[in-house]
Structure 1
Amino acid sequence: MSPVPPAPLVPPFTRETAIAKVRLAEDGWNSRDPERVSKVYTPDSKWRNRAEFPQGTAEIIAFLTHKWARELDYRLIKELWAFEGNRIAVRFAYEWHDDSGQWYRSYGNENWEFAPDGLMQRRFASINDRPIRPEERLFHWPLGRRPDDHPGLSDLGL
């Protein structure tokens, strides 16, 4: 008997595919590679990120390049909030510091809408930054993918 192939990560989402989609997004953003991250969005994807409205691959890459030049040692955790059909709602937190060494924890929510092929066509993010002291940091894994055994947002009380 051959193993059952994994469910495709395309809409309509199940709880399992929505959770997998969220983890893949977290992994991509933790790579801090704008080119890699841009590949999961449609070529004409529309974003709202705070007061910025990048649209399309080139603007998304430019936005992310600028973001990660400013938000140093970035580490992100995303968690599924809700899903239905071709939409997923996510809550997240990430830690980073600026070039003066001030650490921040940024909290937010994202609403995602996907095309039939599973690429994200719309992303709306609301984010708040809170300065933190270095000893308040909670995200301590090496840069890159969050280890599977590292606590998630709910586990951390966030």
Structure 2
Amino acid sequence: MSTNQARPPLPPFTHDSAVLKVRLAEDGWNSRNPEKVALAYTPDSQWRNRAEFVTGREQIAAFLDRKWKKELDYRLIKELWAHDGNRIAVRYAYEWHDDSGNWFRTYGNENWEFDENGLMQRRYACLNDMPIKESERKFFWPLGRRPDDHPGLSDLGL
């Protein structure tokens, strides 16, 4: 994978630049491309995701590859919660199903810390899976980037 390249917007974040950073992260994750997504993190980025600890782009890409092989038809919405300097707090939800056709909505919060190049150097995620019926799904768009006119979390009452 490539070395550090600037990933605007850069800290310190304003409200607008934090909202943009969150949307760019959402777009990346909705691509479900582990190698591409891993480039948004520093080469030595540290993660805590549930009870799993991941360090560095190679481990991040491997983690995401496993994740998206398990979480099928993954669609994610992120929303800015707070920001200060080089840190952003996010809440999110995503919908997916397993290989048996069981649907879930996963709710979570993330705390992000960025380096001066706008690469995420720390990511701490807490999340919970809630089984849902397929008829309870709220995220409907073709796989990939969420369309600009699709409601966000607050608009959906989530």
Establish whether TM, by shorter chain, passes 0.5: yes
Residue 9, structure 1, aligned to residue 25, structure 2: no
Which residue is 1:96 aligned to? 96
Work out which of the two has the higher radius of gyration on C-alpha atoms and give 1 or 2: 1
Structure 2 unaligned runs (5+)? 1-7
* Matches for 1:42-121 after TM superposition, within 5 Å: 42-121=42-121
- In the alignment of these two chains, the number of paired residues is 151
1:18 deviates by: 0.2
Equivalent AA in structure 1 for residue 9 of structure 2: L
Structure 1 unaligned runs (5+)? 1-7
1:140 deviates by: 0.6
Which residue is 1:123 aligned to? 123
Equivalent AA in structure 2 for residue 121 of structure 1: Q
Q: TM-score, normalised by structure 1?
A: 0.95
Which residue is 2:4 aligned to? none
Q: TM-score, normalised by structure 2?
A: 0.95
Runs of 4 or more off by more than 4 Å in structure 1? Answer: none
SS at match of 1:77: strand
In 2, Cα distance between equivalents of 1:68 and 1:97: 10
Superposition CA RMSD, Å: 0.5
Residue 38, structure 1, aligned to residue 30, structure 2: no
